[in-house]
DNA sequence: ATAATTAACTATAACGTTATAGCTATCCAA
DNA sequence: TTGGATAGCTATAACGTTATAGTTAATTAT
C-alpha cells in the first residue's frame, strides 16, 4: 500500500519549501525554471495528486452536486439521474445520490446531510409525502444557506428557485384530444391522488380536453390510485377498481398518468378479453421499458428525461459558477411528445 | 442568506477559546458545566453544524462510498444502487455515483476521480469493454492506494478484493433442466459475447445441463448477441438472428441471459405467430419490469439485486470500519431463484 | 558607489476542526 | 505555608492546500 504523496513530503525530499512545490506544480514564474522542472518531474514520478478535500476546505467548494429523488428503481428518474451525471461529469462535477423513497422524513434527513456536507448545490424532485404535507421548510432553509437548489418534474410555486418542468397539462390535453379524434368519448383516466402536482396537472388537461369537445366528465371514469407504501397493494387497488368500471360502464379509451398504471390496465383488459386498441385504446405518460415491451406496445407521452436532467444540471452549474445571478430564477418548460405505438 | 456559523465565530461571540467551544459541544468534562451549557445553547440557537469537509480533512475519512456501474437506466443495476444507498445511509455513509457506460476509458476516469477525492471505498461492477480488454490496472492501483474495493456481479478472479456474485452457472443449469423436464430439448440460448463473465457462466450452465441429459448442443441454437453501442442495433441483430433460426430449426424453448433479450424474443415470436409457452417456452435472467408486464409474463431467474447491494455495502463498510482485516478477502455467492410466470 | 529593481525563493495565515499539552488559579493536606 | 492535586480553561499543531506578504542575493540603473 502506497500512501499518496503530499506537497510537504515533496518539499522535504527536495529541500525546498512547501510554497515552492505548490507554485512549481502550478508552473508559476516566481520559481526558477530548473527547480520547477525538477519538482514537476519528482511529483510525476511519485504520482502526486492534490488532495481534493484540502482543496474543498480552502476553496469552499466541493465540485459535487447532490441529487435527491423519490425513487431510483424507476425509469423516468433513472434517466434523469443518468443525464445529470453525464452533464455534470462533463463540467467537472461529481454527483451524489440520495433517495427519499417518497418519504418526507427521509427527504428532510437527506437534505440535512447534503447541506452540511460535501455538496455545492442540489437538484431534486419532491417526495409525494412532502407534497401532501405541504411542508417545505427544509428546502427553504437550504436555499437560505446559500446552497442553490433546482427542482425538476415535481415542483411547487411557493419555493423561489430554478425549476425544470414538463408541459403536463397541455400534453394530457393533446393526448386526450387524439383519443377523441379517434371517436373515443368514454375515456377513463388513471391518475394519482390530488396532491401529486404532476398527476393533478395531467388530470386538468384531460378535463379541459373533454370540456373543449363538450363531453361531460364522468367521475366514475376517473380512478385516483391510492398509493400505499409497497406497490403491490397499490396495483391491486388499481386492478380491482378498473375491473369494476369496465364491467359496469362503457369505456373505449384509457389515459394513464404513468406506464405502470397503463401496464396494469393492460393486464386487466387482457384478463377480461378486451382487445387493445380495437375495443379500448390506451395512451400513457412515461416512455419507459414497459411501454416498449408490452404487447400491444403502449403509445406514450415522453417527458424527455434526458433533457430534463441536462437542463437541471445546466441551471445549477450556471448558478454555481456565477454565470447566472443568484437571485434570479428561471423555470424551463420541456415539451412532451406523443410516441405512437400499437395501443392507440 | 445566512452563512453557517463556525466554532471560531462562537468562540469570538462568547469570549472563550475555540478549544473550549469544541470541547463543550462534545460535552467534555474539562469544561465547567455552566460554560458548557451556555455554549451549547448558543450553538443550538445559531443552528451550528460541524463542517464535514474540515472533519474529513482531519480524520482522513469522508464517510462516502463511490459506486461505479456500467449503466444506471437498467433494472438490475438500479436495484443494486438503491440497496447500496439504503444500507450505506443506515451506516452513516453517503453514496456517490459514477457511470462507466460500459466504456473502459470512462471507467478509468471515474476511478481516478473517485480515488483522488471524496470517497473512502469503492463498490463496482466492471464495464464490458474493460472485461474485453482485460486491463485492470486502474482497479489494482486504487487498491494499492489503500482504498478498499468491492466487486459485484461482473467480477474477475485476477483482482484480490471482496466480491459478491451470483451462482450464475448453477442457476442457468437449473433453469435449463426445468425446460428439459418439461420435455423441451431444442433449447435456444440467447447470450452475450464471450468476454462478459456472467454471460459466459450462464452459457456454461446451459451446456452442462444439456450434457447431463445427453443432449448434443447445437451451435446454431446459441445466439451470441453482438453489442453495439446504442442498443437499437443490438436488438435488431438479435431479432434478425432469432427469426432466421426459428424459421430453419425446431425450437421449443428459449433461455435468455437477460430480460431485454427475452423481451425482444417475445416480440419476434409474436410477430411470427408462435404461441408462448405452448410452442416455445421462455425463461430469462433479470427479474425486472419487462418480465412482469410483458404478456405472457416472463419466468425469470432473480439475481436478488437488493441482497447483492446490501452485501456489497456491508463488506465494504466492514473494511472501512476495520471490522474485517484489510488483507483478507471474501467472495459471497448469492443464490438465484427461479420465479415461474406465464412464459414457461 | 549606492539605490532601486528583480529573480528566486520562504514564511505565514487561512479554510474548520480536534487532540495534546500547557497554563493558572483555587483548594486541601501535612 | 508550602507543595501537590484539581478544576477550568487556552495555546498549539496538525490535516493538505494556496494566496499574500515577506526575505534574501544578485543585477541593473544612475
pLDDT tens profile A123-156: 999 999 999 999 999 999 999 999 999 999 999 9
- Per-residue confidence (pLDDT) for residue B118, from 0 to 100: 87
Q: Say if residue A66 is in the same domain as residue A139.
A: yes
For residue A51, list chain B residues with Cβ-Cβ distance below 8 A.
57, 116
Query: Distance between CA B260 and CA A257 in Å, rounded?
Result: 24
Q: Does A180 lie in the same domain as A276?
A: yes
Across all strands, nucleotide nearest A14 (CA–C1') = C9
Residue of A nearest to B271 (CA): A295
Question: What is the CATH number for B181?
Answer: 3.40.50.2300
Q: Is residue A114 part of a domain?
A: yes
Q: Does B148 touch chain A (CB under 8 A)?
A: no
Residue B6, C-alpha cell as written in the block: 463556525
The answer to whether residues A180 and A259 belong to one domain is: yes
Question: A293 vs B294: CB contact, 8 Å cut-off?
Answer: yes
**Who among residues 25-44 of B has its Cβ near strand C, under 7 Å?**
25-26, 30
Residues 30-89 of A with CB under 8 A from B: 49-54, 56-57, 62, 64, 71-75, 78-79, 81-82, 85-86, 89
> Residue closest to C15, CA→C1'?
A58
Residue A60 (CA) to nucleotide C7 (C1'), in angstroms, measures 33
Evaluate whether residue B55 is within a structural domain: no
A150 CB-side CA count, 13 A: 26
Residue B159 has a pLDDT of 97
pLDDT (0 to 100) of residue A227: 74
Nearest beta carbon to residue B3 from set A72, A99, A146: A146
Beta-carbon separation of A57 and B57 below 8 A: yes
Q: What is the mean pLDDT of residues A186-212?
A: 94
Tell me, yes or no, whether A135 and A182 share the same domain. no
Q: Is the CB of B17 under 7 A from strand C?
A: no
For residue range A258-297, what is the model confidence (pLDDT) as tens digits? 999 999 999 999 999 999 999 999 999 999 999 999 989 9
Tell me: do B142 and B88 sit in the same domain.
yes
Residue in B307, B276, B36, B258 with CA at minimum distance from that of residue B128: B258
Say if residue B310 is in the same domain as residue B242: no
Does residue A26 belong to any structural domain of this protein?
yes
Contacts of B90 (CB under 8 A, 6+ apart): none
pLDDT < 70: residue spans in chain B:
228-233
Contact check, Cβ <8 Å, B118/A52? yes
Whole-number Å distance, CA A31 to C1' D29?
25
CB B103 within 8 A of CB B138: no
Residue B203 near residue B189, CB atoms below 8 Å? yes
| CB environment B286-302: b (16+ within 10 A), e (fewer) | bbbbbbbbbbbbbbbbb
Q: Does A96 touch chain B (CB under 8 A)?
A: yes
Question: What per-residue confidence (pLDDT) applies to A232?
Answer: 65
- The DSSP output letter for A178 is H
Residues A296 and A309 in one domain: no
Using CA atoms, how far apart are residues A136 and A127, in angstroms rounded to an integer?
11
**Would you say residue B176 lies in a domain?**
yes
Spell out which residues of A between 7 and 26 contact strand C, using CB within 7 Å. 15-20, 23
- Domain assignment present for A342: no
Do the Cβ atoms of A99 and B86 come within 8 Å?
yes
Per-residue pLDDT reduced to its tens digit, A24-55? 999 999 999 999 999 999 999 999 999 999 99
Q: For residue B3, give how far its alpha carbon lies from the nearest alpha carbon of chain A (Å).
A: 6
Is the domain of A265 the same as that of A293? yes
Please indicate, yes or no, whether residues A74 and A97 belong to a single structural domain of this protein. yes
Contacts of A74 in chain B (CB under 8 A): 78
pLDDT score recorded for residue A228: 67
Rounded CA–C1' distance between B226 and C29, in angstroms: 90
Write down the pLDDT at residue A236.
Answer: 84
A94 close to B113: Cβ distance less than 8 angstroms:
yes
Task: Estimate to the nearest angstrom the gap between the alpha carbon of B42 and the chain centroid.
Answer: 45
Measured between CA atoms, the residue of chain A closest to residue B66 is: A96
Q: Which residues of chain A have a CB within 8 Å of the CB of B263?
A: 293
Tell me, yes or no, whether A232 and A126 share the same domain: no
Cell of B129: 469493454
Q: CB count, 10 Å around CB of A246?
A: 19
Contact in structure between A145 and B1 (CB atoms under 8 Å): yes
B109: in domain:
yes
What pLDDT, on a 0 to 100 scale, did the predictor assign at position B172? 97
Contact B293/A at CB under 8 A: yes
Match 482485460 to its residue by C-alpha cell. B134
Mutation target among B72, B234, B305 for the A interface, most CBs of A within 10 A:
B72
Angle at B71 between CA B313 and CA A295, to 5 degrees: 115
**Interatomic CA–C1' length for residue B152 and nucleotide C3, angstroms:** 72
Nearest nucleotide to the CA of A22, by C1', is: D18
pLDDT of residue A231: 58
pLDDT tens for each residue of A73-112:
999 999 999 999 999 999 999 999 999 999 999 999 999 9
- Minimum distance, in Å, between the CA of residue A64 and any CA atom of chain B: 9
* A288 near B CB under 8 A: yes
Q: Spell out where chain B has E strands.
A: 64-69, 94-99, 121-124, 149-152, 162-166, 187-192, 222-225, 253-256, 281-285, 299-302, 331-334, 337-339
Q: What is the spatial distance, in angstroms and rounded to an integer, between the CA atom of A17 and the C1' atom of C11?
A: 9
Contact A85 B72 (CB under 8 A): yes
B272 and B182 fall within a common domain: yes
The per-residue pLDDT for A9 is 97
CA-angle at A63, arms to A58 and A64, nearest 5°:
125
Structural domain that includes position B146:
61-165+305-334
Closest CB from B2, B82, B116 relative to A99: B82
Q: Would you call A290 and B289 a contact, using CB atoms and an 8 Å cutoff?
A: yes
User: Could B72 and A54 be called an inter-chain contact, meaning their C-beta atoms sit closer than 8 Å?
Assistant: no
The domain tally of chain A equals 3
Q: Does A341 map to a domain? A: no
At B228 the pLDDT is 67
Q: Is residue B344 a part of any domain in this protein?
A: no
B250 touches strand C (CB under 7 A): no
Share of chain A above pLDDT 70, in %: 98
pLDDT tens digit sequence for A249-267: 999 999 999 999 999 999 9
A229 pLDDT exceeds 80?
A: no
Q: Which nucleotides of C are covered by protein (CB under 7 A)?
A: 7-12, 14-21
Q: Distance (Å) from CA A12 to C1' D29? A: 39
Residue A151's pLDDT is what?
98
- In contact, A334 and A304? CB cutoff 8 Å: yes
Exposure of A112 by Cβ count < 10 A (0-12 exposed, 13-18 middle, 19+ buried)? middle
Task: Using a 7 Å cut-off to protein CB atoms, list the covered nucleotides of chain D.
Answer: 7-12, 14-21
Nucleotide closest to B57 measured between CA and C1': D15
| Residues A129, A69 within the same domain | yes
The three three-digit cell numbers of residue A299, written as one number: 403509445
Amino acid at each position: 500500500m502506497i500512501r499518496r504523496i503530499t506537497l510537504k513530503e515533496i518539499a522535504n525530499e527536495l529541500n525546498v519549501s512547501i510554497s515552492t512545490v505548490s507554485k512549481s506544480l502550478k508552473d508559476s514564474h516566481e520559481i526558477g525554471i530548473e527547480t520547477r522542472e525538477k519538482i514537476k518531474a519528482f511529483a510525476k514520478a511519485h504520482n502526486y495528486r492534490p488532495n481534493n478535500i484540502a482543496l474543498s476546505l480552502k476553496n469552499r467548494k466541493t465540485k459535487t452536486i447532490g441529487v435527491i429523488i423519490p425513487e431510483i428503481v424507476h425509469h423516468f428518474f433513472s434517466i434523469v439521474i443518468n443525464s445529470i451525471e453525464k452533464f455534470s461529469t462533463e463540467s467537472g462535477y461529481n454527483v451524489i445520490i440520495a433517495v427519499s423513497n417518497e418519504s418526507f422524513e427521509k427527504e428532510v434527513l437527506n437534505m440535512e446531510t447534503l447541506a452540511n456536507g460535501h455538496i455545492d448545490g442540489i437538484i431534486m424532485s419532491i417526495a409525494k409525502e412532502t407534497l401532501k404535507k405541504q411542508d417545505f421548510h427544509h428546502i427553504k432553509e437550504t436555499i437560505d444557506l446559500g446552497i442553490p437548489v433546482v427542482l425538476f418534474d415535481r415542483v411547487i410555486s411557493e419555493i423561489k428557485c430554478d425549476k425544470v418542468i414538463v408541459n403536463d397539462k397541455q400534453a394530457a390535453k393533446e393526448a386526450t384530444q387524439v383519443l377523441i379524434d379517434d371517436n373515443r368519448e368514454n375515456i377513463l383516466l388513471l391518475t394519482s391522488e390530488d396532491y401529486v402536482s404532476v398527476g393533478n396537472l395531467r388530470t386538468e388537461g384531460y378535463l379541459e380536453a373533454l370540456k373543449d369537445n363538450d363531453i361531460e366528465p364522468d367521475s366514475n371514469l376517473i380512478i385516483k390510485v391510492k398509493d400505499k407504501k409497497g406497490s403491490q397493494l397499490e396495483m391491486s387497488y388499481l386492478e380491482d377498481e378498473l375491473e369494476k368500471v369496465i364491467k359496469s360502464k362503457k369505456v373505449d379509451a384509457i389515459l394513464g398518468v404513468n406506464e405502470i398504471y397503463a401496464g396494469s390496465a393492460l393486464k386487466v383488459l387482457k384478463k377480461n378479453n378486451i382487445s387493445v386498441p380495437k375495443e379500448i385504446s390506451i395512451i400513457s405518460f412515461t416512455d419507459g421499458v414497459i411501454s416498449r415491451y408490452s404487447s400491444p406496445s403502449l403509445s406514450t407521452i415522453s417527458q424527455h428525461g434526458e433533457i430534463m436532467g441536462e437542463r437541471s444540471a445546466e441551471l445549477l452549474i450556471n448558478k454555481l459558477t456565477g454565470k447566472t445571478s443568484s437571485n434570479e430564477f428561471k423555470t424551463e418548460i420541456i415539451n412532451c411528445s406523443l410516441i405512437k405505438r400499437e395501443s392507440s
